[in-house]
Structure 1
Amino acid sequence: MGNEETPESRERTDRTGWRGLLVDVTPLRTSPSFAKLWTGTSVAQIGAQITIVAVGLHVYDLTGSTLAVAFVALWALGPMILAGFVGGALADMFDRRTVALVTATVAWLSIGTMTLIAFLNVTQTWPYYVLAAINAASATILGATRGAILPRLLPTQLLPAAAALSGITMGLAITVGPAVAGVLVATVGFPWTYLLDAVLFAGAFLGILSLPPMTPEGGSASPGFSSVVESMRFLRNAPNVRATFIFDLIAMIFGTPRVVFPAAGALILGGGPVTVGVLTASFAAGALLSSLVSGPLGRVRRQGRAVTLAIAVFGLFTALFGVVLLVTGMMVGSAGPEGVNVPAVVLAGIALAGTGAADNVSAVFRTTILQAAAPDDVRGRMQGLFYVVVAGGPRIGDLLAGAVATAIALWAPALIGGLIIVALMLVLLRIARGFQHYDAFMPTP
Structure 2
Amino acid sequence: MTDPDPPSPTPGSGGSRLRALLPDLTPWRASADFRRMWLAGLVTTFGTFLTFVALPLQLKELTGSALAVGAIGAVELVPLIVFGLYGGALADAMDRRKLILWTEAGLGLLSALLLLNTVLPHPMVWPLYVVAALVSALTGLQRPALQAILPRVVAHEHLPAATALNSLRWQAGAIAGPSLAGIIVAFAGLPWAYGLDVLSYAVSVALSVRLAPSPAAHDAEKPSLRGILEGARYAWGRKELLGTYAIDMAAMFFAFPNAVFPFLADELHATWALGLMYSAAAIGSLLVSLTSGWVPKVHRHGRMVVLAAAGWGLAMAVAGWMDNVWLVLVFLAAAGACDTVSGLFRAAMWDQTIPDELRGRLAGIELLSYSVGPQLGQVRAGGMASLTGVRASIWSGGLACVASVGLLAVCLPRLMSYDVRTDEHAEAARRRAAARTAVAEAA
Output the CA distance in 2 between the equivalents of 1:77 and 1:412: 24
Q: Which amino acid aligns with 2:315?
A: F
Output the CA distance in 1 between the equivalents of 2:75 and 2:138: 14
Q: Deviations over 1:264-288 (max 9, x none)?
A: 5555xx3243355444332221112
- Contact 2:118-2:191 at 8 Å conserved across structures: yes
User: What is the RMSD of the two structures over their aligned residues, measured on CA atoms?
Assistant: 3.1
Taking the TM superposition and a 5 Å limit, the aligned residue runs for 1:302-341 are: 302-322=300-320, 324-325=321-322
Provide the residue aligned with 1:365 in structure 2. Answer: 345
Output the CA distance in 2 between the equivalents of 1:68 and 1:312: 29
Provide the residue aligned with 1:376 in structure 2. Answer: 356
- CA separation of 1:215 and 1:122: change in aligned 2, threshold 3 A: farther
Determine helix, strand or coil for the equivalent of 1:214: coil
Output the CA distance in 1 between the equivalents of 2:129 and 2:420: 42
Output the CA distance in 1 between the equivalents of 2:89 and 2:26: 31
Provide the residue aligned with 2:241 in structure 1. Answer: 241
Shift, 1:18, TM fit: 0.2
Structure 2 length as normaliser, TM-score?
0.81
Determine helix, strand or coil for the equivalent of 2:141: helix
Output the CA distance in 1 between the equivalents of 2:99 and 2:406: 41
Determine helix, strand or coil for the equivalent of 2:34: helix
Provide the residue aligned with 1:154 in structure 2. Answer: 154
- CA separation of 1:92 and 1:69: change in aligned 2, threshold 3 A: same
Shift, 1:250, TM fit: 2.2
Shift, 1:97, TM fit: 1.0
Among candidates 405, 417, 425, match of residue 437 of structure 1: 417
Taking the TM superposition and a 5 Å limit, the aligned residue runs for 1:65-214 are: 69-116=69-116, 118=118, 123-214=123-214
Output the CA distance in 1 between the equivalents of 2:310 and 2:104: 36
- Contact 1:39-1:203 at 8 Å conserved across structures: no
Output the CA distance in 1 between the equivalents of 2:257 and 2:198: 32
- Contact 1:89-1:221 at 8 Å conserved across structures: no
- Contact 2:111-2:194 at 8 Å conserved across structures: yes
Taking the TM superposition and a 5 Å limit, the aligned residue runs for 1:273-284 are: 273-284=271-282
Output the CA distance in 2 between the equivalents of 1:422 and 1:345: 23
Which region of structure 1 is more displaced relative to structure 2, 19-28 or 214-223? 214-223
Which region of structure 1 is more displaced relative to structure 2, 147-156 or 415-424? 415-424
Q: Deviations over 1:339-384 (max 9, x none)?
A: xxxxx33333222211110011100111121222221122112212
Output the CA distance in 2 between the equivalents of 1:303 and 1:265: 36
State whether structure 2 residue 390 is matched by structure 1 residue 392.
no
Determine helix, strand or coil for the equivalent of 2:352: helix
Where does the alignment leave 5 or more consecutive residues of structure 2 unmatched?
1-14, 427-443
- CA separation of 1:130 and 1:264: change in aligned 2, threshold 3 A: closer
Output the CA distance in 2 between the equivalents of 1:68 and 1:136: 17
Shift, 1:53, TM fit: 2.8
Provide the residue aligned with 1:5 in structure 2. Answer: none
Output the CA distance in 1 between the equivalents of 2:80 and 2:359: 18
- Contact 1:88-1:385 at 8 Å conserved across structures: yes
- Contact 2:254-2:400 at 8 Å conserved across structures: yes
Provide the residue aligned with 2:47 in structure 1. Answer: 47
Identity %: 34
Provide the residue aligned with 1:340 in structure 2. Answer: none
- Contact 1:304-1:437 at 8 Å conserved across structures: yes
Which region of structure 1 is more displaced relative to structure 2, 414-423 or 388-397? 414-423
Shift, 1:399, TM fit: 4.4
Which region of structure 1 is more displaced relative to structure 2, 198-207 or 380-389? 198-207
- Contact 1:321-1:415 at 8 Å conserved across structures: yes
Output the CA distance in 2 between the equivalents of 1:368 and 1:216: 23
Number of equivalences: 411
Provide the residue aligned with 2:329 in structure 1. Answer: 349
Q: Deviations over 1:185-236 (max 9, x none)?
A: 3444444433322221133224422322223348424433222222221121
- CA separation of 1:128 and 1:122: change in aligned 2, threshold 3 A: farther
Output the CA distance in 1 between the equivalents of 2:277 and 2:60: 22
Q: Which amino acid aligns with 1:140?
A: G
Q: Which amino acid aligns with 2:254?
A: F
- CA separation of 1:68 and 1:400: change in aligned 2, threshold 3 A: closer
State whether structure 2 residue 268 is matched by structure 1 residue 288.
no
Output the CA distance in 1 between the equivalents of 2:392 and 2:56: 28
Q: Deviations over 1:83-102 (max 9, x none)?
A: 21121111111111111122
Provide the residue aligned with 1:256 in structure 2. Answer: 256
Q: Deviations over 1:8-44 (max 9, x none)?
A: xxxxxxx941011122222111211101101111111
Q: Which amino acid aligns with 2:417?
A: H
Provide the residue aligned with 1:334 in structure 2. Answer: none
Where does the alignment leave 5 or more consecutive residues of structure 1 unmatched?
1-14, 329-343
- Contact 2:69-2:382 at 8 Å conserved across structures: no
Determine helix, strand or coil for the equivalent of 2:23: coil
Output the CA distance in 1 between the equivalents of 2:37 and 2:107: 17
- Contact 1:254-1:413 at 8 Å conserved across structures: no
State whether structure 2 residue 21 is matched by structure 1 residue 21.
yes
- CA separation of 1:27 and 1:264: change in aligned 2, threshold 3 A: same
Output the CA distance in 2 between the equivalents of 1:278 and 1:191: 20
- Contact 1:221-1:378 at 8 Å conserved across structures: no
Output the CA distance in 2 between the equivalents of 1:159 and 1:251: 25
- CA separation of 1:68 and 1:243: change in aligned 2, threshold 3 A: closer
Shift, 1:115, TM fit: 3.8
